[in-house]
Structure 1
Amino acid sequence: MTIVVFTMRIAAGAAKPASNDMVNDTQTFGIDPAAGHPERALALGYAPLAAHDGIVALFALDATLAKLAMGTRDPMVAQLRLTWWHEALSALGTGRSPAQPILRALSEAQANGAALAQMEVGWERLLAAPDDEALSAFSEERGILFAEAARLARAQDDVVAAARGWALADLSRITVDAGLSARAGALARPLLQRAAAQRWSPAGRFLGALVHVAQADLLGEKAAGAPLRVLRLAWHRMSGR
């Protein structure tokens, strides 16, 4: 345990563990932007400090939509709740600052609400049994998360493959449907491989780190937080590879 904690502090690159910031973000947004994944918390800690609030709000939004789509038993109830988010995101920036914490943070960061509303469309596709075409569309729509995060971070990296691969790999991790998990994972692998091969800019390395986390999750050879996995993130933070 001591080795794991020490290694995670090296990867965080700061005296204060990144997890402390994520606890505060969870209290702010009412949901963990890292979705309970310790390495994702580290990766988000690599985001440029000036863009931190907007970026973690983006991931809190994604975690919220995922919880509604994957954790609501009644599909009709899930659709109603997702529709509320679609309308709220579409209205972002058109009136007063919203009271909802995630929406307020996105508004203050000048996030593109119209683009983010398409993330809801992607999650809504999963309320019915999605075929491969629907999964591909889901990856593009959920992948807007990466595009918007890169824009807020002012990163110039190509995030298309990373966005789609991460969206599918994470779906493979969180779904309880074994068949859906296998199909999403198979579609994710070549996309993640392509994204991991590029050299990421300093501003975009938090997204590159998320790619490496997703790859490690798909392989499943070592548990999240294992020293070698965390050291891989530290190397990525230094090198962009």
Structure 2
Amino acid sequence: MDSSEVLQPALRVALAWHPGETRAALQAVLELDAQLARIVAQAREGVLAQMRLAWWRERLSQPEGARLTGNPLLASLETRLAGAQTELAALVDGWEELLGEAPLPETAIDAFADGRADALAAIARCARVEPAGAELARRAARRWALADFAFRTSDERERAAALALARATPPPGRLPRQVRGIAVLGALADRAIDRHEPVLAGRIAPLIALRVGMTGR
């Protein structure tokens, strides 16, 4: 099985439209995100989940060449995202925020979204996107992170908080071609936030992904 098949459908769509030069880097970040999501989703004891997250944080914070080469995902991250230790560790920190008791405070949801956004924005740097374009990519990633969380949580208070934070994050507009996959996620998030429904829900969402994937807007 292709490792990309473990990703959510919306992420596979975004990956398919992302330029080939940094597609492997985006896939590595998304697979790390999925791995961390599983740790949190399967957590029965917060301490054990924190220990597993700490293992990833420690490995990702190490300098290039010092990580465990026997782990394919770590090897891919080291190869594809050199110098992104801070952003990848921030992703772990973001997922750890979700280990608290429900309803999670808005600050935890905000930090979670920031961690996800920082990690995805690292793709822009890999693609040599100008700082202004990288900030637009981060904004799109943050809106997607919040929309994705909003429609996966079963707590209505958490959903309301996430959507409020998403609406407070301005839509980025058109993103550079080098981060087209993130642009697709941002566009799907925009629709989810506006229509108050899950990302990629309905028959129109795939058409939006197709349009943005082909034209960038």
TM-score normalised per structure 2: 0.84
CA contact (8 A) 2:94 2:116 kept: yes
Q: Of residues 78, 83, 89 in structure 2, which corresponds to 1:107? A: 78
4+ residue runs over 4 A deviation:
220-223
Q: Of residues 215, 221, 229 in structure 1, which corresponds to 2:205? A: 229
> In the aligned structure 2, how far is the partner of 1:238 from the partner of 1:220?
25
CA contact (8 A) 1:171 1:184 kept: yes
Q: Which amino acid aligns with 2:3?
A: D
Identity %: 31
Listed as ranges, the gaps of 5+ residues in structure 1 are 1-22
Q: Of residues 169, 176, 187 in structure 1, which corresponds to 2:165? A: 187
Matched, 1:120 2:92: yes
- CA distance 1:47–1:154, shift in 2 (3 Å): farther
Q: CA deviation at 1:85?
A: 0.5
Q: Which amino acid aligns with 1:236?
A: V
> In the aligned structure 2, how far is the partner of 1:122 from the partner of 1:62?
10
- CA distance 1:128–1:226, shift in 2 (3 Å): closer
CA contact (8 A) 1:46 1:237 kept: yes
Q: Of residues 173, 180, 193 in structure 1, which corresponds to 2:151? A: 173
Render the CA deviation track for 1:120-171: whole Å, top value 9, x for unaligned: 1111111114322232222222211221122223334222322322221111
Alignment RMSD? 2.3
Render the CA deviation track for 1:98-140: whole Å, top value 9, x for unaligned: 2112111111113312321121111111111432223222222
CA contact (8 A) 2:137 2:175 kept: no
Q: Which amino acid aligns with 1:124?
A: E
Q: CA deviation at 1:232?
A: 1.4
| Other structure's SS at 1:49 match | coil
Q: Which amino acid aligns with 2:114?
A: E
Q: Which amino acid aligns with 1:194?
A: P
| Other structure's SS at 1:155 match | coil
CA contact (8 A) 1:170 1:214 kept: yes
- CA distance 1:43–1:174, shift in 2 (3 Å): same
Q: CA deviation at 1:189?
A: 2.8
Matched, 1:46 2:14: no
Aligned to 2:186: 211
Render the CA deviation track for 1:54-90: whole Å, top value 9, x for unaligned: 2101000011111212331211111111111100101
CA contact (8 A) 1:222 1:229 kept: no
- CA distance 1:43–1:86, shift in 2 (3 Å): same
CA contact (8 A) 2:61 2:89 kept: yes
Matched, 1:154 2:128: yes
- CA distance 1:88–1:169, shift in 2 (3 Å): same
- CA distance 1:136–1:92, shift in 2 (3 Å): same
Q: Which amino acid aligns with 2:211?
A: W
> In the aligned structure 2, how far is the partner of 1:186 from the partner of 1:48?
32
Render the CA deviation track for 1:10-30: whole Å, top value 9, x for unaligned: xxxxxxxxxxxxx51247xxx
What is the total number of aligned residue pairs between the two structures? 209
